[in-house]
Amino acid sequence: MDCKSCGNKFKMYEIPVDERIYGPFSAIFSCPHCAVLLQADKKIRILSMIGIILFGFSFLAIFLNKIEILDVNLKLSLTGLILGCICFFVSLINTQTEIVEGIQLE
């Protein structure tokens, strides 16, 4: 990841798990170089949510089509499934962070 404050690069595994604050869609952690609180960039959190939602709805549509409850276009559902995976994996490899204000790590 790239620290927005000092510009140094670091890996997420360098930060001990007990020093992270896990939220619903992102973790808050301190930079190992300058100790500023960071989290994943907002665009990346939104992209990962879109990916998860696309994947979930497409998987559900394919499943309901297989058990003949819902009649859906299989090509469209597979396209949504693939796009959901791509969005989610792009959000995993992104390294942008943003500074968190107003929270103290103990």
pLDDT tens track for 23-73: 776 788 888 888 888 888 888 888 888 999 999 999 999 899 888 888 888
Sign of torsion over alpha carbons 106, 101, 15, 92: positive
Distance, CA of 67 to CA of 65 (rounded, Å): 6
Output the pLDDT for position 27: 83
Q: What is the pTM of this model?
A: 0.67
- Residue 23 maps to a domain: yes
Has residue 106 got a pLDDT over 90? no
**Residue 105 covered by a domain:** no
DSSP percent split of the chain into helix, strand, coil, nearest 5: 50, 15, 40
CA distance 5 to 99: 7
Give the domain extent around 21: 12-99
Domain total for the chain? 1
Structure tokens at 64: 């309901």
Give strand pairing partners of 2.
9
